[in-house]
Amino acid sequence: MYFHLFDWDDRIRDIKEQYALDPMVTYQIADRLKIKHPGYTSGGQVMTSDFLLTFINKDGIEQKMAVQVKESDTLDKRTMEKIELERVYWESKGITFKLCFSSEINRTFAENLQHLYMHRQKSVREEDLDVLYKILTQVIRDVPEASFSFISDKIQLPVPSGVSYSLTEAIKLLCAKKLLKFPVETRHLNDCELKDFVEA
């Protein structure tokens, strides 16, 4: 879910997952902090950060931030030791470290983004998007009270490239490309009416 939130954020330019920490450095830090290093497994080096993000800050400067995600904000002593090791590691690299918890996630927002993710990745010609936008804005004006979840997928919308999209696919695509918007943080996509989809 955090991946989808980061992917949606236009300030974030690159997302690396399960980023491996330099073992030599982490061993040195563990020794300095007088804590046990997590060590190795048969699968290789085990110390990773869940995400290493490259983003543009409010001053327009590119920065990096490491993120570790935990299920619960109730952490035992050993977990806290490993998190501290990770934090000091990134601090030594001049990179901000952030600890996030699953309980902090707006689940409606994240679930909506999961629905849109596949469409967000699609490569679509601008002229196709323009045609879909014109058709859909007219449909929305004509039947604003129609429920998104009950729109017929039998209706296909042809575009200049020769591809056809169903109404629901077209709406998801335009929302994913941020040409249309809906209350993505507060209402599930399937609970929306067409009038909820407006120009982004």
Q: How far apart are CA 120 and CA 4, in angstroms?
A: 11
Residue at which a domain ends, from 104, 131, 150: 104
Q: What is the pTM of this model?
A: 0.88
Interhelix angle 126-142/167-176, nearest 10 degrees: 120
Residues 20 and 96 in one domain: yes
Q: What is the mean pLDDT of residues 155-178?
A: 95
CA angle 91/92/93 to nearest 5° reads 90
Q: What angle do CA 139, 113, 47 make, to 5 degrees?
A: 165
pLDDT of residue 43 exceeding 70: no
Mean pLDDT of 2-26: 95
Mean pLDDT of 59-68: 97
Give DSSP secondary structure letters for 78-108.
HHHHHHHHHHHHHHHTT-EEEEEEGGGS-HH
Identify the domain containing residue 177 by its residue range: 107-199
Residue 60 region, left (φ>0) first, then alpha (ψ -120 to 50), else beta? left
Q: Of 72, 104, 136, at which residue does a domain stop?
A: 104
What distance in Å separates the CA atoms of residue 26 and residue 39, rounded to the nearest whole number? 10
pLDDT > 70? residue 113: yes
